[in-house]
């Protein structure tokens, strides 16, 4: 429909005249999809034109009706100041041909062509668990990366591992004081998690452990070889485990340079800030004042001289700009970190870098499972790997009941189980809190990943059963309302991709998937293929193919894997 919208906007623009003060984009925004089919397929609200033309909207709509002529529009009506366009069925058929010709490329745009975007996402904290607090960043980031790639951007996926900080000091103390090397070698990250928790328990009784942890971290910062060797070891053990989850999800990153990679570059940031007169001392610590921007000061160095999360983030941003020359750098984290990003973006600007505005924080809401909030200190954590594996097992159980003879059961259960979790996370606007309830996420009849994957599989099996399309001319095929509605939904996909990109909002695609599934399922029930005339059959096969491509592309954009059988 984009093409039609553009043509309408152009002709309206010409009728308004060059000095109307409305740009092509302004007029495009006035073109809507009417809520009901009887109001047409596209509609222009003429109210804004009243002042320009000094006529009533009703008169303008009447006047424009006879003067706008567009190929593909069968009929135009003027109703109460609205100009309603009714698209012809032959135009709809040509839309279907366009979709099927584009295939896997349908919905792509070139907004990002020649541009680079860095996407910092997932970024778990090493030596701690990879828990469901990182589900949002992992799946939102992955989807944003795909949406950007689909829009022509060169994408650099960055896993900015939280692999530096006092937590390593704690681990080193735990290791040196009570941990068992063999156990760590055997049980890997689980054992690290256990001794880490034990540290907190012991430190409650013996607070001096905290001082020792700070000392150990300080030694790491000073480059002490023994400390760095231990750090490296802990990092590798944890990363190995994280990689299993990424492999399960089919996610890969272009860079795993985390905080540790930047710790020795933090000094350069400090020097630069000093040189630019931005640094101020306060109780032995160093900070940048942000009073003028209504923010608390941004801490750069602690009073023991060690660097902070923020210091390393500043170093990393400068490094990324130099290395990738990005046009945008996105940071996907929970909304709790919003101040941190606002502060360090501002410091980048104060340092004189003119790309402050290219840094974008993408916040998202909190997650709970069956209503229970995440609390890592008390050990009430759900590991991401457990959540996914649990989902897969539950899907297997459902499948054994519904379709016990399914081939490739394990592979399909993996796709559907992961899909259920991912879809659930991406269902509503990202800033909203997400509650994970198994029964809801796995409901094959609800607004879920399994339902979307099931609908995709249905489009495949319909096509398989239908076989070859009868060879007949259907360019003048007359559609029924259900078919028209289906084509209308299909034709909106490119716009949904563009809006998901604009708002950094994968849920625009998720919601679209539900619309398309609903429309296709109605079509499936109301419009038989096997018992239809040759012309109907040929047209409906075209529609099914367009659904399969569009739904397939949309599923890919949110990181769901397709399955032809379910
Ligand atoms: N490791 C951090 C956390 O788990 C997220 C890092 C986000 N990226 C960044 N450049 N600060 O909270």
Query: Measured in angstroms, how far is the CA atom of residue 331 from the centroid of ligand 1?
Result: 8
Q: 3-state DSSP: the chain helix, strand, coil percent, rounded to 5? A: 60, 10, 30
The 8-class DSSP code of residue 161 comes to -
Query: Measured in angstroms, how far is the CA atom of residue 361 from the centroid of ligand 1?
Result: 11
Q: Distance between CA 203 and CA 209 in Å, rounded?
A: 6
Quickly tell me which residue has 């796995």 as its tokens: 442
pLDDT at 370: 81
Find out whether 163 and 319 touch, Cβ atoms under 8 Å.
no
pLDDT(305) > 90:
no
pLDDT(193) > 90:
no
Give the pTM.
Answer: 0.94
pLDDT at 190: 85
pLDDT(144) > 70:
yes
Average pLDDT over residues 399-407: 90
Please state whether beta strands 154-158 and 116-120 pair in parallel, antiparallel, or not at all (unpaired). parallel
Find out whether 344 and 147 touch, Cβ atoms under 8 Å.
no
pLDDT(259) > 90:
yes
Find out whether 170 and 178 touch, Cβ atoms under 8 Å.
no
Q: Distance between CA 99 and CA 218 in Å, rounded?
A: 59
pLDDT(314) > 80:
yes
Query: Measured in angstroms, how far is the CA atom of residue 387 from the centroid of ligand 1?
Result: 21
User: Which residue, by CA, sits nearest to atom 1 of ligand 1?
Assistant: 162
pLDDT at 189: 85
Average pLDDT over residues 75-89: 96
Q: How many CB atoms lie within 10 A of CB 35?
A: 8
Query: Measured in angstroms, how far is the CA atom of residue 333 from the centroid of ligand 1?
Result: 7
Ligand 1, closest atom to CA 331? 8
Cβ neighbours for 467, distance < 8 A, ≥ 6 positions apart: none
Cβ neighbours for 180, distance < 8 A, ≥ 6 positions apart: 191
Q: What is the pLDDT of residues 8-39, one digit of tens each?
A: 999 999 999 988 999 999 999 999 999 998 99
User: Which residue, by CA, sits nearest to atom 4 of ligand 1?
Assistant: 124
Q: Which two tokens stand for residue 270?
A: 């400090």
**HSE of 297 in the Cβ direction (CA atoms, 13 Å)?**
14
Using the Cα atoms of residue 311, residue 503, residue 417 and residue 555 in order, give the sign of their dihedral: negative
Q: How many CB atoms lie within 10 A of CB 351?
A: 17
Find out whether 564 and 457 touch, Cβ atoms under 8 Å.
yes
Place 75 in a pLDDT band, splitting at 50, 70 and 90: very high
pLDDT at 306: 82
Query: Measured in angstroms, how far is the CA atom of residue 1 from the centroid of ligand 1?
Result: 40
Find out whether 558 and 144 touch, Cβ atoms under 8 Å.
no
Q: What is the pLDDT of residues 347-398, one digit of tens each?
A: 999 999 999 999 999 999 999 888 777 655 555 678 898 999 999 999 999 9
pLDDT at 212: 95
Three-state SS annotation for 114-150: CCEEEEECCCCECCCCCEHHHHHHHHHHHHHHHHHHH
pLDDT at 304: 82
Name the residue of 124, 157, 160 whose CB sits within 8 Å of the most ligand 1 atoms, as the mutation to test its pocket. 160
pLDDT at 129: 77
Query: Across the beta sheet with 372-373, what order do the strands follow?
Result: 372-373, 367-369, 434-436
pLDDT at 458: 97
pLDDT at 1: 82
Average pLDDT over residues 550-556: 98
Query: Measured in angstroms, how far is the CA atom of residue 534 from the centroid of ligand 1?
Result: 58
Query: Measured in angstroms, how far is the CA atom of residue 123 from the centroid of ligand 1?
Result: 5
Nearest to 65 by CA among 84, 50, 52: 84
User: Which residue, by CA, sits nearest to atom 5 of ligand 1?
Assistant: 123
Average pLDDT over residues 542-562: 98
Quickly tell me which residue has 């492999």 as its tokens: 247
pLDDT(281) > 90:
yes
Q: Distance between CA 458 and CA 237 in Å, rounded?
A: 43
Q: What is the pLDDT of residues 485-502, one digit of tens each?
A: 999 999 999 999 999 999
Name the residue of 162, 309, 329 whose CB sits within 8 Å of the most ligand 1 atoms, as the mutation to test its pocket. 162
Q: What is the pLDDT of residues 422-431, one digit of tens each?
A: 999 999 999 9
Residues in the chain, overall count: 566
In 307-357, the DSSP E strands lie at 328-334
Ligand 1, closest atom to CA 120? 8
Tell me the C-alpha to C-alpha distance, in Å, between residue 322 and each of 70, 156, 355.
49, 14, 12
Query: Angle of helix 534-557 relative to helix 507-526, nearest 10 degrees?
Result: 160
pLDDT at 61: 96
Residues with CB under 6 A from ligand 1: 120, 123-125, 160, 162, 313, 331, 333
User: Which residue, by CA, sits nearest to atom 11 of ligand 1?
Assistant: 313
């Amino acid at each position: 429909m984009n093409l039609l919208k553009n043509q309408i906007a152009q002709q309206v623009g010409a009728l308004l005249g060059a000095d109307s003060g409305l740009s092509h984009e302004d007029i495009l925004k006035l073109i809507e999809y009417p809520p009901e089919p009887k109001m047409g397929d596209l509609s222009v609200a003429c109210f804004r034109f009243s002042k320009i033309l000094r006529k009533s909207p009703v008169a303008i709509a009447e006047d424009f009706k006879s003067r706008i002529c567009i190929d593909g529009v069968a009929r135009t009506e003027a109703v109460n100041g609205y100009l309603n366009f009714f698209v012809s069925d032959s135009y709809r058929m040509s839309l279907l041909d366009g979709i099927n010709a584009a295939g896997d490329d349908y919905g792509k745009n070139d907004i990002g062509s020649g541009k680079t975007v860095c996407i910092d996402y997932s970024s778990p904290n090493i030596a701690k668990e990879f828990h469901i607090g990182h589900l949002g960043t992992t799946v939102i980031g992955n989807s944003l990366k795909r949406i950007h790639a689909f829009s022509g951007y060169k994408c650099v996926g960055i896993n900015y591992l939280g692999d530096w900080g006092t937590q390593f000091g704690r681990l080193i103390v735990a290791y040196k004081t009570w941990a068992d090397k063999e156990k760590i070698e055997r049980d890997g990250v689980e054992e690290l998690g256990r001794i880490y928790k034990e540290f907190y328990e012991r430190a409650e009784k013996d607070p001096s452990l905290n001082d020792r942890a700070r000392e150990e971290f300080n030694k790491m910062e000073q480059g002490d070889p023994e400390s760095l060797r231990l750090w490296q070891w802990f990092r590798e053990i944890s990363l190995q485990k994280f990689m299993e989850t990424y492999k399960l999800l089919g996610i890969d990153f272009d860079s795993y340079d985390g905080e540790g990679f930047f710790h020795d570059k933090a000094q350069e940031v400090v020097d630069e800030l000093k040189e630019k007169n931005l640094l101020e001392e306060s109780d032995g610590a160093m900070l940048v004042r942000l009073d003028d921007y209504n923010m608390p000061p941004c801490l750069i160095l602690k009073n023991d001289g060690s660097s902070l999360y923020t210091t390393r983030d500043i170093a990393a941003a400068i490094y990324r700009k130099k290395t990738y020359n990005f046009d945008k750098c996105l940071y996907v984290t929970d909304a709790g970190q919003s101040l941190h990003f606002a502060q360090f973006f501002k410091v980048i600007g104060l340092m004189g870098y003119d790309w402050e505005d290219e840094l974008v924080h993408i916040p998202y809401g909190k997650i709970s499972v069956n209503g229970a909030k995440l609390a890592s200190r008390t050990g009430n954590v759900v590991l991401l790997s457990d959540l996914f594996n649990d989902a897969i097992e539950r899907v297997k159980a459902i499948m054994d009941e519904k379709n016990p003879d399914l081939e490739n059961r394990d592979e399909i259960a993996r796709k559907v189980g992961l899909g259920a979790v991912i879809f659930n996370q991406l269902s509503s606007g990202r800033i909203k809190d997400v509650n994970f309830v198994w029964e809801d996420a796995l409901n094959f009849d609800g607004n879920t990943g399994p339902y979307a994957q099931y609908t995709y599989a249905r489009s495949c099996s319909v096509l398989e059963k239908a076989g070859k399309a009868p060879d007949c001319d259907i360019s003048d095929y007359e559609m029924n309302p259900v078919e028209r509605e289906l084509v209308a939904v299909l034709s909106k996909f490119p716009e949904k991709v563009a809006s998901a990109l604009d708002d950094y909002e994968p849920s625009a695609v998720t919601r679209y998937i539900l619309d398309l599934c609903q429309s296709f399922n109605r079509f499936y029930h109301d419009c038989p293929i096997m018992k239809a005339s040759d012309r109907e059959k040929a047209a409906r096969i075209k529609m099914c193919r367009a659904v399969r491509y569009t739904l397939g592309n949309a599923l890919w954009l949110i990181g769901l894997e397709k399955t032809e059988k379910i």
